[in-house]
Chains A and B, each alone.
Chain A
């Protein structure tokens, strides 16, 4: 049953296009149609993976980047949801802080890399300076939107059933605001990976981001592409994991179905 559903769930035409592009790429490089020194064929990249694995350097690089993603995302979730509730529930707090948020929000996180370098040198701290701020926004903004978007009638329902403030927040506002919060958390997770890789390229010589630069400078495009593919696969896995977790925790959220 599960296997049948899994097979039925596969996007066959999409997969076919992917396989076709890969084969065309392979053929183009082998026949000399594409003559570019630094574009290896998919088979060469696959061999690169083998080399990285046998040297045992792929796993530590992945681990470093994943840890950075986890820290930045966890900080964003905790800070974003608690600040989002504070701002969502208090019109006064919103009035004082929304202007600041709107000014800070469009600033690219990478722009703070030099600041981080001055403060912390080439380190995980600098990586966090670059990563956390941009990752915070989707959670924060979606939480504020989710909390302020709770329908007035639900507050009436809470009052007619005599809920106190704590129960109103826990039993009405939090679950009602959950779908947009989950969307924000998902966007943040994807962003966290992108920014961690960028930060490792410019601010912290470790992890997958630095490895891509390292292999580029070593003139090993096969290994460089192997790292790039790794980043892509991690992105897909993180997104799928997040979706599965959200679906399992909130089976009622219609918005999550088939997302």
Chain B
């Protein structure tokens, strides 16, 4: 699998946490003052870890992710990538957005979309190789010459994931990427994402409002609640790997975690 080669950059740094938030607070201008959206958020993401962040709407999930990706400035606190504090979008970190049809470049073919993040810095042959690998990773080799509007929603979201993977990032930030997909597509995309993680050892921060999805995917779950949003609890999820849509979801432990996360959210919103 060529796609795991050339990831040595991330592997060298594997010793420390890939990503860290230190009491991050974000505020937006609001009428006469400033409205606090998220407050005092602290957690770290280990290399190759799948961290899910779950919370009801209005708790600042997207704001948190944008702050992590350097798109939204923090009012206080800091975000660190490989121990380095970021100002602006960091190298090695890339965001996958929920609204894939807006996020894809409609005038480019699938292959050209996937090349978007790397074509300026890499040689042509290297770019082509990486595009090919990334498309193979999400099963879209046959669609390289199609345009985004010729693909289904699930396939379009795969293109966005492939575009992020082509960069070989250390951390992928995903903002409810499967929220607009139907249940069956969603299930296969979840498994695909876990396979990609196993092959590339990329760290994932995955935001969702779907508690089952958070439990199924996560090595750990951070629960974001309240307004301004705070991280109330972080659950370690001890479910066996590889996860399976049928058997994992039937495990008593799966149901226990599901119950516990529900409780953690409901205690404040009940």
Contact = CB atoms under 8 A, between A and B. Distances in A.
A252 B103 contact: no
B186 interface: no
A154 interface: yes
A38 interface: no
Contacts of A176: 105-107
Interface in A164-194: 167, 171-172, 175-176, 178
Interface string A187-215: 00000000000000000000000000000
Interface stretch (B2-10, B37-45, B89-97, B222-230): B89-97
B28 interface: no
A31 interface: no
A252 B102 contact: no
A159 B99 CA distance: 16
B147 interface: yes
Contact of B69 (A151, A154, A160, A167): A160
Contacts of A156: 71, 95, 97, 103
A20 interface: no
Interface of B: 69-71, 88-89, 91, 93-95, 97, 99, 102-103, 105-109, 116-117, 120, 147, 149, 167
- 4 A-B pairs closest in CB distance: A153-B102, A161-B117, A252-B107, A160-B95
Interface in A231-259: 250, 252-254
B147 A153 contact: no
A161 B94 contact: yes
Contact of B89 (A151, A154, A159, A250): A159
Contacts of B99: 153
Contact of A254 (B93, B103, B120, B149): B149
Contact of A160 (B94, B106, B108): B94
Nearest to A162: B89
Interface string A127-161: 00000000000000000000000010110110111
A257 to B, nearest CB: 11
A172 B71 CA distance: 17
A252 B106 contact: yes
A154 B102 contact: yes
Given A153-B97, A153-B99, A156-B95, A167 B120 contact: yes
A242 to B, nearest CB: 19
30 contacts: A151-B102, A153-B102, A154-B102, A156-B71, A156-B97, A156-B103, A157-B103, A157-B116, A159-B70, A159-B71, A159-B89, A160-B69, A160-B89, A160-B93, A161-B94, A161-B167, A162-B89, A167-B120, A175-B107, A176-B105, A176-B106, A176-B107, A178-B107, A250-B107, A252-B106, A252-B107, A252-B108, A252-B147, A253-B107, A254-B147
Nearest to B121: A162
A154 B103 CA distance: 6
Contacts of A159: 70-71, 88-89
Nearest to B100: A153
Nearest to B91: A162
A128 to B, nearest CB: 34
Contacts of B93: 160
Contacts of B167: 161
Contacts of B89: 159-162
B68 to A, nearest CB: 11
Given A172-B105, A176-B107, A252-B109, 7 more contacts: A153-B97, A160-B93, A160-B94, A161-B94, A162-B91, A163-B120, A254-B106
A97 B240 CA distance: 64
Nearest to A178: B107
Contacts of A157: 97, 103, 105, 116
Contacts of A161: 89, 94, 116-117, 167
Contact of A175 (B102, B105, B147): B105
Best-buried of A151, A156, A171, A172 by chain B (most CB within 10 Å): A156
Interface string A70-106: 0000000000000000000000000000000000000
Contacts of B106: 176, 252, 254
A159 to B, nearest CB: 5
